[in-house]
Chains A and B, each alone.
Chain A
Amino acid sequence: MIAPPPPSGPVPYNRDFALLLLTDMLRVRRMEEKSAELYGAGRIRGFLHLYIGEEAVAVGALHALQAHDNLVTTYREHAHALVRGMPMSAIMAEMYGRQEGCSQGRGGSMHLFDRTTRLFGGNAIVGAGLPVAVGLALADKMLRASRVTACFFGEGAVAEGAFHESMNLAALWRLPVLFCCENNRYAMGTALERSESQTDLCAKASSYGMPVLRVDGMDVVAVHEATLQAQARVRAGEGPLFVEYQTYRFRAHSMFDAELYRSREEVEQWKKCGPIHTYTARLKRQELLDEEAFLALDAQVAAEVDSAVVFAEAGSDETFESMMADVHTSGGLSR
């Protein structure tokens, strides 16, 4: 798949909001670069799926939602948790397996949960978040909450039965679900055209009778505008809506991926559309930012990352007893 032209349109926001988008993309990027480094150093273990290259999607989309909306994500969810408001230190501590982590160190990178921001995980089974999102939206509809449930998943999930069953149920019951498909073109090593007889994902979603939007996921402005429009329609009671964000991951699928399935040229092509440097250039062109301000911002983000690492390093281990006593809400039930 040929990369699209790099995003270059005008940024239609005031300085504060324009810089907020940049700051959040940078926070995600620098946090993940640091996690990769810490993985190499053995501080973080297990599966680690980086979002590097895809930052415009979570940042643009989540800033279009409201604070009380529900969020359901996959295992590639560091960005979503951070942008939604989870402290970077809680994410880092979770990756370290510390009890100060958002999930007490029981979940790790793939299972970030946060009750205060209504982040319902962090699901590492491809497609499994979709039915949960449908149910959250059902509860909101029946309890008359004006919430939207945003459900993020990769294009790989489109091949799962869970996708089709959930699309049908959400459309049939006209539930307020915003299906956010992060189409980064690959499911591990399997390219979309090698796994789908119909590669037009919007066509699949429309077949369930719901409106669809396709957006350049490398362009934070396009993502934000499309998601604003989409969430307004869902919130207004029009039923579910499907958004396809066309994006690309620059790094390996996880830390165990030799990337045999794609060429270096292809990755380099896509890097030309990188969401952060293209957006930075646009801001500079519009004189919303200069190099000095950019460097200051980057330094501020680096300091946040450093203190998150310090927090995680200083964290403590949950005791075996505490872990065993929390299988059920009401305490341990093992007999």
Chain B
Amino acid sequence: MQQSNYAIETQGLTKSFGSHNAVDQIALQVPRGSIFGFLGPNGSGKTTTIRMLLGLAEATAGTISVLGHAIPEDAGVALPHVGALVEGPAFYPYLSGRDNLARFDSADSKADPKTRKARIESALARVGLTAAAEKKVHAYSLGMKQRLGIANALLQPREILILDEPTNGLDPQGTREVRTLIRDLASQGITIFISSHLLLEIEQICSHLAVMSAGKIVAQGSIAELSFSEIHNLTLKTPDADKAISTLNSLDIEARNEVGLIKANVIHNFIAPETIADALVKAGVKIQGFTLEAPKLEERFVSLTGEGFDVAR
């Protein structure tokens, strides 16, 4: 078996429902050991992609490799190393949380029945469900089901975790706990593939991102690559608008007055911010505020997908 640098790699992956391409020619490259954010608005094809990665749905076209194994042909070899949460958690409502985990664990022929009990208890402890383990799942809140779903993905030591919108239905405290758990797992070398329609929820923990829009990947790479921008934004707050604009113009920076704020686009590394500030002060411009920075990821993604990510929930 060829050892690939990518935990997950797809080529030309496509899934059509009738004439509509829910996933359209995507080439995912998820580096081993990364926390890979799979972002996109609702309906952009994230869950459909994940179903194909796990062999649940057959690709209309394209190839998939997970840990170097072809999917769906060798899914039986790859999947024991993959823990996943797909399109929300699902359980037998009439069984307890603990018995649900035992049920899914016994479906895995590679899982050792002798260590089952211990593995279930440690997975439950990891997501903070030990106290509720005896309760029937129909009495669980959505947040508890989400945690139990994550516990199910952690029943075995895994190489990859695929988590489809794992923070859905969690309160802000729960969301923080999931982020901490993911960081913790990633620090053990597990590759994490996490989908979300909320950039702000996962931006802080991801090392890599891919952005989906209407079935296509519109951007992919490390956070550093994606944050890099040739054009930075200058914002200046000052009562001396006219004097400021003419000073900036003399520095070959084309500035405009936008409702009391002076704005300009500055090419990256074209001129140091302190040089600009210096020139403004020398010209007698009173500076109340001054920033020169790369555009926020959020703004870039809104422009890429043409739709806003939900900022607040």
Co-assembled chains A and B: no
